[in-house]
A and B are shown apart, each in its own frame.
Chain A
Amino acid sequence: MSTVAQTSPARRGLSRETVQFAWRVAAALAVCVALSLLSDAFLTTNNLLNVLRQTSLLFLMASGLTLVILTAGLDLSVGANIGLSACLAALVIKSSGSPWLGVATGVGCGAMIGLANGFLVTALRVPAFIATYGMMWLILGATYFYMGGETVHGFPPSFRQFGSGYFLGIPIPIYMMLLFLLLGTLFAQRTVWGQQIYAIGANPVAARLSGIPVERRLVLVYVVSGAMAGLASLILLARVNSAEADIGEHFTLPAIAAVVIGGTSLFGGSGTIIGTLIGALILTLVVNGMNLLQINASWQPLVTGVIILFAVWFDIRARKSGN
């Protein structure tokens, strides 16, 4: 995709990225239309806010992951990261009474996990999927061990505002989503680092030979991905008001799905943050629809799996014909 601004006025047709984005928005709208026809409960304010709130959570988890996938990497430890960060933050909040200390712990823990992932991938040159897979189990195990099967609950209301609070009638997580949509997009499109990340994804060899410090940037994206997972874990914590070891386990697959459905290629170099938001929205809508239609929740991982496979297949086909 091109971010260098058009200097000549005339523009013949829309760019490929715009077209693809439009398709995805259309898909989201189509699902909305379908659901509103299939269920009376869909178009209620309550339900729609719920959908947006869930989308926000998923988006926050997937936003940092988008950067990682832009570099043709992967982070399978997102779910485990959420679990450990949430549990550590929970324990800190309870023991210190300070929500902000908890926030710092959560984000910090997430970032540290990201740092470890980045180190494995750059310094030890372990393939990303293996490194983050191993980390996933390591963290999961450590979290389970540390929590000893117990749950932590009961957090101060000032903290719970993060997840369940409203501002001007809109749930706070939605503001967070918009905030990070803005920050993420600015980072990707309007910073030097963002440009370099796209370049690394497009061709890491050429990027290196053009003087871009590839290893440092890779560590950066893994740290950001981890930190965002940590942040998302706090929202989750605030929402469900309890923390247990497996709180994040079910989010790894949907997070990856959101990124892939949003149009970011697993092979790196193309994709947008807002695409991930639309992807998260589509996924959440589908799950919401399944709930409204009272389809057994057990079908959800299956549907997510199938959607991922289709999205990847589309991406591969598009690459083959486009290039």
Chain B
Amino acid sequence: MTRGLLTRMPGVAIALVLLIAVFSLANPNFATLSNLQNILIQSTILLLLALPMTLIIMTEGLDLSMGAVLTLASIALAITAIATGSIALAVAAALAVGLGFGLLNGVLVAALDIPPFIATLGTLGIAQGLSLVATDGQSVVGIPRGLQQVYGGAFAGVPIPIIIGVLAFAAFFVLLYRTRFGSYIFALGGNREALKLAGVPDRTVLIATYAVGGAMAGFAALLMTARMNSAHPTAGIGLEFDAIAAVAVGGTSFERGNGWLTGTLLGVLVVGVLRNGLNLMAVPSSAQVAGIGALVIAALLIDGLRSRP
């Protein structure tokens, strides 16, 4: 399982160390404890998306709708919170939206055989459309106070987002490496025939994979909304790209059915460090995106060169 992938460790870990070194030299504010903690906190949302994205990419699929679904879920959360005053109901609403879109993606890909990038491109449009319609392009504000604690609060001195991140990583680690479902995900990408021959309902497993992705987008919406204390129809746009970048940089390739969660974690940190460092250098968000785009292409290049001698 993880043993064979140790050969990949150097790549993304080296990249991470290099980036930290470069930014520490470039800006004295970078290497402070509070800033590093900041990076961890801010990376949590991305981690929540990148973990299920790893699974989806392992099945040779892709989910381009995650950002839009997160946005819609956050809007649903905000609206429900304001309307009912209950945070619990609001969270349920967000999860429901996420899960719903996840299942839709899964059905489109597994049952209707629509190529994943087109299917999720379509649902991206649908989710984005619904976000715009529901909010008329405006932010949703006036969320009950308690929610902010989720992002800004701490438990036993540890910021809550970091706790959530650790728990999420642990949960996915167990899911992928210790459950039957996890083995089936490896099989979906590595040798789907084997799964069918073994009598396992492969389509159901695939649908479940996308459903998990959607649910996690809903869950991440909770953190996002708490962080901004509002919901905006363009808030999550592009997050799926960061997630895909994190997974790609982390070493999970787009074929061959292997996946490395620790690599994804490191990839998330790489993206987080990159964004934070560039922010400190007052590089606008747009250029950061370009940088990440270049990073993805570099990762694909390296992956391509490595596997085709």
In the complex, chain A residues 136-150 whose Cβ is within 8 Å of any chain B Cβ: 136-145, 148-149
Complexed CA–CA distance, A266 and B122 (Å): 14
Q: Please report B residues at the A interface, Cβ cutoff 8 Å.
A: 62, 64, 108, 112-115, 117-119, 121-126, 128-133, 136-137, 238, 241, 244, 254, 283-294, 296-297, 300-301, 304-305, 308
CA of A302 to CA of B124, assembled, Å: 8
Residue from B112, B123, B305 within 8 A of A316 (CB atoms): B112
Shortest distance between the CB of B62 and any CB in chain A (Å): 7
Q: How far is the CA of A185 from the CA of B288 in the complex (A)?
A: 41
Contact between chains at B293 and A134 (CB < 8 Å): yes
A216: shortest Cβ distance to chain B, in Å?
19
Residues on A with C-beta less than 8 A from B305 are: 124
Q: Determine the distance from Cα of A40 to Cα of B288 in the docked complex, in whole angstroms.
A: 48
The contact of A245 among B244, B286, B296, B297, by CB within 8 Å, is B286
Give 7 CB contacts A-B under 8 Å: A126-B304, A141-B286, A143-B286, A145-B283, A253-B121, A296-B132, A298-B131
Partner among B119, B128, B293 whose Cβ is within 8 Å of the Cβ of A135: B293
- Residue A243 interfacial (CB < 8 Å): no
* A189 interface residue per 8 A CB criterion: no
Cβ of A305 and Cβ of B254 under 8 Å apart? no
A141 touches B122 (CB 8 A): no
Q: A142-B290, A245-B286 are in contact. Are A296 and B108 (CB under 8 A)?
A: no
Assembled-state Cα–Cα distance A309/B241 (Å) = 21
A43 is an interface residue with CB less than 8 A from chain B: no
Specify the chain A residue showing the minimal Cβ separation from B305: A124
Taking a contact as CB atoms under 8 Å apart, the answer to whether B287 and A266 are in contact is no
Instruction: Tell whether A302 pairs with B125 under 8 Å between CB atoms, given A124-B304, A296-B133, A309-B108.
Output: yes
Known A308-B118, A313-B112; judge A140-B289 contact (CB<8 A). Answer: yes
Q: Are B126 and A138 touching (Cβ within 8 A)?
A: no
Q: B304 touches which one: A125, A256, A300, A306 (CB < 8 A)?
A: A125
Find B294's partner among A127, A131, A138 (CB 8 Å cutoff).
A138
With contacts A124-B304, A127-B254, A308-B122 taken as known, whether A301 is within 8 angstroms of B129 at the C-beta atoms is yes
Contact: B113 with A316, CB < 8 Å? yes
**Chief secondary structure at chain A's binding surface:** helix
Bound complex: CA of A131 vs CA of B130, how far in Å? 28
Interface contact A266-B288, CB-CB below 8 Å = no
Instruction: Point out the residue from A126, A245, A316 that lies within 8 Å of B114, measured CB to CB.
Output: A316
**Residues of chain A with a CB closer than 8 A to B130's CB:** 302
Contact of B297 among A135, A149, A256 (CB under 8 A): A135
Minimum distance in angstroms from B233 CB to a CB of chain A? 8
**A305-B129 in contact (CB<8A):** yes
Question: Which residues in window 284-313 of A have CB below 8 A to B?
Answer: 296-306, 308-309, 312-313
Q: Give A275 to B108 CA distance when docked, in angstroms.
A: 25
Q: Is the interface of B mostly helix, strand, loop or mixed?
A: helix
Contact with B along A108-138 (1 / 0, CB 8 A): 0000000000001000111101110111111
Q: By the criterion CB–CB under 8 Å, are B114 and A305 in contact?
A: no
Q: A308-B118, A316-B112 are in contact. Are A141 and B297 (CB under 8 A)?
A: no
The answer to whether B294 and A312 touch across the interface, beta carbons within 8 angstroms, is no
B125 touching A308, Cβ below 8 Å = yes
Known: A124-B304, A312-B119. 7 other contacts (CB 8 A): A124-B305, A134-B300, A140-B289, A296-B133, A298-B131, A309-B118, A312-B114
Give Cα A145–Cα B287 distance, bound, in whole angstroms: 5
Contact of A130 among B122, B285, B286, B300 (CB under 8 A): B300
Which residues of chain B have C-beta atoms less than 8 A from A133's C-beta?
A: 64, 117, 241, 244
Give complex CA distance A296, B129 in Å.
10
In the complex, A300 Cα to B126 Cα: how many Å? 9
CB pair A144–B301 under 8 Å, yes or no, is no
Q: Would you call B128 and A301 a contact (CB within 8 A)?
A: yes
Contacts of B62 in A (CB 8 A): 129-130
Mark out the residues of chain A between 219 and 271 whose CB falls within 8 Å of any chain B CB in the assembled complex.
245, 253, 256, 266
Task: Quote the shortest CB–CB distance from A34 to chain B (angstroms).
Answer: 21
- A141 with B288, Cβ < 8 A, contacts A305-B122, A309-B119, A316-B114 known: yes
Residue of chain A at shortest CB distance from B57? A130
Chain B residues whose C-beta falls within 8 Å of the C-beta of A142 in the assembled complex: 286-287, 290
Determine whether the beta carbon of A305 is less than 8 Å from that of B133: no
- The complex places the Cα of A136 from the Cα of B121 at a distance, in Å, of 14
Please provide the 7 A-B residue pairs with the shortest distance between their CB atoms, ordered closest to farther: A302-B129, A305-B125, A144-B286, A141-B290, A298-B132, A138-B293, A141-B289
User: For residue A86, which residues in chain B have a CB less than 8 angstroms away from its CB?
Assistant: none
